[in-house]
């Protein structure tokens, strides 16, 4: 079975790393109960999750395939 090409794999991995870097610190602040977590944590968590979703979509996006044009087929008379 041939390996599937992933043209946006590097970009997806970068988005996953940035998303993780935005999610982990606010979660640690929320777990410890610090007062600073109330303002920053929801923003970091929501943006981090959105970046994770964007990375997942890019990772599973395949290469563009040409559309079959019915006008190119020969006509039977």
List, for residues 38-64, the tens digit of each pLDDT value: 555 567 788 999 999 999 999 988 767
Sign (positive or negative) of CA dihedral 47, 50, 55, 58: negative
What share of the chain in percent tops pLDDT 90?
25
Query: If you ran DSSP here, which 8-state letter would residue 71 be given?
Result: G
Q: Rounded to whole angstroms, how far apart are CA atoms 46 and 52?
A: 10
**pLDDT tens profile 4-22:** 677 888 999 999 999 999 8
């Amino acid at each position: 079975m041939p390996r599937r090409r992933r043209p946006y794999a590097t970009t997806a991995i970068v988005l996953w790393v940035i998303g993780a870097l935005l999610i982990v610190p606010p979660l640690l602040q929320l777990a410890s109960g610090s007062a600073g977590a109330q303002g920053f944590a929801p923003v970091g968590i929501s943006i981090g999750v959105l970046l994770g979703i964007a990375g997942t979509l890019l990772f599973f996006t395949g290469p563009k395939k040409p559309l079959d044009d019915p006008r190119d087929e020969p006509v039977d008379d």
